[in-house]
Amino acid sequence: MLNTKKSRAFEILSTGARPGDDIQKVRLIRQVNGLNLFFIGVAASVTLIFTFITSSAELKIIQGLATVLYATSLIINSKGRLKFASNMTMYVFEVHIFGVMLLTNGWTSAAVNLIILYPLMAALLELNINKHLCIGIGEAAALFVIYTFLPQVNELLVKTSNIGSDAVMVLDIMAATYTPIMAAVIIGIIFKENLNARKKQKEMLVEISDANRQLELYATQLKDETQKLKAEVSIAKKIQTMVLPSVEEIKQIDELDIACIMRTATEVGGDYYDVIKIDGIVTIGIGDVTGHGLSSGLIMLMAQTAVRTLAEMKVKEPNTYLKLLNRILYANISRIKEDRSMTMVIITYINNRYYISGQHESVVICRKNGDIEVIDTMDNGFYVGMTLDVPDNYKNMELILEKDDVMLLYSDGVTEAENVKKEQFGITNLCDALKKYHQLSADKIKEKFMKDLYNYMGETEIYDDISLVVIKQR
């Protein structure tokens, strides 16, 4: 039963607090409510006592009005107007006490002692202590001036209030009694709220400690998951690297001098290139999956497998090659529910002739005399894996390279590489570098070209995969 009463009293004191309010605000709400409830009790009891000991209507009005105003402040606080209620409680108390002092012998009134409560109340209600200390001093000074220099005014106030000597004595006793009680209540509220705050802080510290332990557990689990993910990504990168043509494999193509390189923007890239020789037919492919990362790398592996399979099946016609390749990739990309596609150029080398089909970046040719030819592939095909149905006929190109002519295939990560000024490397720099190094071997051209590219980029990071295939006719 006792706990129920305490719980009910706590609910009343907390009236006006909202879910989500911080502990400091809730504490202040309870302090405002506690003071108003105490002052309502004091003012109402004094009004009741005055009914029997004095006929002073003025004192009864002041006490009754104060009771109503304290109750109003309590209601205002319950509506969420904490700041307004705090100020109202403070000012009502100051006017209330000043009125009582004026009507009970002014400077000699026992109620003068209540002025010492002003700064205490201001501290409790988190108001400006100096401001309300000055108000108290100002009231005391006004009473002293009236009592000392304007005795006729003081006598008029006492006469008007019509308080007898017995009533004055009772009021003195009440003031002497209420002053320490009120001080004790104010200090008690502060002390109690401080205890509640400390208790809440301890509970919060326990919760924080539990949360920290949980976070440490999550961090350990996350670290383990990160390690697993890094291992999986490392495996994916290794697989992607393993399916690229090896230097030994490329060197077996006697009629062509070929060098290749790939640099990924992330651990796993979305660029593709391959060089395959089967029964005298050399298939060279280069492509770029939209985006980069694991999913792009997965699609790149699909493309490599599909191209290898079609090469093993000795599919020679470029149109047929790309239509079958598109169907395979579209089906697999749809199955993994990725919104990706890729540009791709397939070059078939048969009997000293190159057959080019598919849409990708331009094919750049540097003749042995240094002349540059830039072959646009935009009309040669369609994005691979974007849609199941593609045009029936792809435009194919046929060309012949003479001895020491060089063909350069690249991904857009080359031309779109930026320097510190956000300027792209571009097709012009690409052609200039090829022209500058075309007399070297394919491997040297690749090395010199990449060195120029990295020098151009400076400290800029690689934002897109970079792939390069150099083909020099022997």
Name every residue whose Cβ is closer than 8 Å to that of residue 93 and which is 6 or more positions away in sequence. Answer: 39, 117, 121
pLDDT tens-digit map of 46-78 = 777 767 766 677 778 888 899 999 999 999 999
- Bridge partners (DSSP) of residue 354 are 349, 399
| Residues in CB range of 354: below 8 A, 6 or more apart | 347, 348, 398, 399, 400, 401, 407
pLDDT given at position 314: 78
Per-residue model confidence as pLDDT tens digits over 129-150: 999 999 999 999 998 898 888 8
Name the range with the highest mean pLDDT among 125-129, 297-301, 450-454.
450-454
Q: Would the pLDDT of 356 be above 60?
A: yes
Q: What is the number of other CB atoms lying within 10 angstroms of the CB of residue 452?
A: 17
pLDDT given for residue 226 in this prediction: 63
Can you say how many angstroms the Cα of residue 224 is from the centroid of all Cα atoms in its chain?
24
Banded pLDDT at 229 (limits 50, 70, 90): low
Q: Which sequence spans correspond to the domains of the chain? A: 10-197, 244-473
Q: Mean pLDDT: which of 183-192, 374-383, 402-411, 459-468 is highest?
A: 402-411
3-state SS string for 306-320: HHHHHHHCCCCCHHH
Exposed e or buried b for every residue in 190-222, given b needs 16+ CB within 10 A? eeebeeeeeeeeeeeeeeeeeeeeeeeeeeeee
Q: Domain 244-473 carries which CATH code?
A: 3.60.40.10
Q: Which of 220-224, 334-338, 382-386, 438-442 has the lowest mean pLDDT?
A: 220-224
In this prediction the pTM is 0.54
Q: What pLDDT does 234 receive? A: 65
Cβ partners under 8 Å of residue 464, min gap 6: 265, 292, 411, 412, 413, 416, 417
Q: Residue range 195-220: average pLDDT?
A: 75
The residue ranking higher by pLDDT, 364 or 291, is: 364
Q: Work out the burial of residue 2: count CB atoms within 10 Å of its CB; fewer than 13 is exposed, 13-18 middle, 19 or more buried.
A: exposed
pLDDT for res 238: 67
pLDDT, tens only, 267-309: 666 788 899 898 888 989 898 888 766 777 788 888 888 888 8
- As a whole-number percent, the residues of the chain with pLDDT over 70 amount to 83
Residue 10: pLDDT band by 50, 70, 90 thresholds?
low
Tell me the mean pLDDT in the region 86-107: 87
- pLDDT single digits (tens) 370-418: 999 999 888 777 788 887 777 666 677 889 999 999 999 999 889 999 9
